[in-house]
Chain A
């Protein structure tokens, strides 16, 4: 690791030399910590044959398919970035150890993923993707986490004619640019809340309020939500926006409490879900339904907020309880069990989306019989596969239009799919208790 890590390795000697003895130990400790942090987690980390480096014999393969990904290990998207990376690594480990490598024209090729930490920053992510293409010479790209980061990195990929398959950048506007090399296995942001809104309308909800972070993805979700609310005959009483890294949403929830809506819809990221649920509790704001974009489907939020999050709804790209099955990984439950064995925790949908993105690329490469960009692009466009993640079939924009979005509800500490009806394992509790 250290030869690849000039930032962490270089200054250590300079920091330690010339300091007096009492300081030396502490200085050395701090310098080592810096070096460790920089080498372990910074952009300079390269992970070859992810998740399988210790046990896979590269000599057993006929070659390597090199794939690059910029992911957030630090910064605002660190949690989702970690889940996405574990999702990619799950595929890499499975394809190398269990599946026997990617099958191309009679040969078997190891999958290698080169990672960099984009620090949750769009400019950094774009630079790193350029570096993956120019310096690391990757054959294909997997997407970063979030629409904001995918927007810029996909433009770099398009300009260099490199295919990027992704599962965690879902803003609709990305797919209105006419790009030929961007493919999304997940449902687009504009349709995130559709099944939940239709289910709530069917149960009598007539008014709603929306609060969303004013960044790319939450805005796309909110615009879509408004469209679906109006289509379902639910009146939108107010829309509030807020900046990222917000620390207090009391004012927004106070406004909404006075409007007494049936449905509260909050669109942001994980920490926003914590703020919304806590502020609603503190202010006695009790809408009949709370639908929050990111958070409720994550078991960590349920652990941390206990009863306060009970009854909260959230969209989900995927849950282990869904009745999806495929020839790769088996059923959704089989995938979840495999993931649990690898990482010691159940997969959240961001992880499953990442695995599905890598799997779609894998299937297209096999179908094309080569790693030629044009051939793989054609294979992706004609791909039709049933997988643990649901059906995958891309339209002309590169969006997977075969898979509907699900809705979960936290019920007695359990995360249960309640919509659409075809995927539901429990009834929607409305109004929430």
Chain B
């Protein structure tokens, strides 16, 4: 029983990490239609900022996360205004290539600045709470989960209740209709991108004590975010949480209950789910910010 309970704890903890990692990617894709191939690199930049705060000033990543959020919001705003905004009306392939270029640039800049050495941020929120000899809760991952759930709730409220949030959803559903009723699409996109890059930076800060920080850690994270978003539904905040939790639990159970190759199967699982979702339920399990075609109504 404790074996299953530990698998549940592992899965939920992993789901929490995936949630915070995927939120920004999902909303950018859902609202702007941009597949942010540099997502993992924005995570990496956030992780480096947290590592610097930890290494130079001894600031815990959980404490520096709000500052990382602020810096990354500014960075995201700059990238959106200078790059993304100029290609947003062109084919999806162009924005895909632009973001791919940004990912290579960020990798190269961080390698020049910090070398390829692995770094780890220090946190006081480490170790484990031991419930029994065979049941523990990993402290760092628990707090990552708490932040992930908190951020999900806050983002969900923001999109659902605030005027700006409603504008973002309107722009996601039908850009032209939103523009006709006075929504400043350019501003909405800039805010969305900046906010999401800020959240992605926070994700980097939170995982900086868990995953070694290095310039080339991004691509596997982008791939994972892509799979979860496609499975859960584009732009769905609660879907991101749900999809991440489902995947975390599936991975944890497979890894624990299949001998020898369980962890290999777990890694494959997200992509099996991706293919299955695309074939059987293209709108995603939880649905997302759906585009509404004004001309068809």
Chain A residues near B (Cβ < 8 Å): 22-23, 26-27, 30, 33-34, 36-38, 40-41, 73-76, 78-79, 81-82, 214, 238-243, 245-252, 254-255, 257-258, 270-271, 274-275, 278, 281-284, 300, 304-306
Contacts and interface: CB of A to CB of B under 8 A. Distances in A.
Contact of A38 (B102, B108, B134): B108
Given A41-B111, A245-B220, A271-B118, A250 B10 contact: yes
Given A34-B108, A255-B256, A247 B140 contact: no
B116 A74 contact: yes
Contacts of A284: 128, 130, 133, 136
Interface residues of B, number: 58
A23 B108 contact: no
A274 B13 CA distance: 18
B120 A274 contact: yes
Contacts, number: 146
Interface stretch (B194-202, B210-218, B238-246, B274-282): B210-218
A416 to B, nearest CB: 23
21 contacts: A34-B101, A36-B112, A41-B108, A78-B216, A238-B260, A240-B262, A242-B267, A243-B263, A243-B264, A246-B267, A248-B10, A248-B14, A250-B10, A251-B266, A258-B134, A274-B118, A274-B120, A282-B127, A284-B128, A284-B136, A304-B119
Contacts of B264: 214, 241-243
Given A37-B105, A274-B120, A278-B210, A283 B138 contact: yes
Given A27-B82, A33-B108, 12 more contacts: A22-B82, A37-B107, A74-B216, A78-B215, A82-B117, A250-B14, A250-B138, A252-B263, A283-B6, A283-B138, A284-B130, A284-B136
Contacts of B251: 248, 251
A278 B144 CA distance: 15
A153 B224 CA distance: 31
Contact of A30 (B105, B126, B260): B105
Nearest to B219: A245
Give the secondary structure class of A's interface.
Answer: helix
Nearest to B109: A33
A308 to B, nearest CB: 8
B67 interface: no
A251 B7 contact: yes
Given A246-B267, A252-B255, A281 B127 contact: yes
Nearest to B79: A26
A79 B116 contact: yes
A254 B6 contact: yes
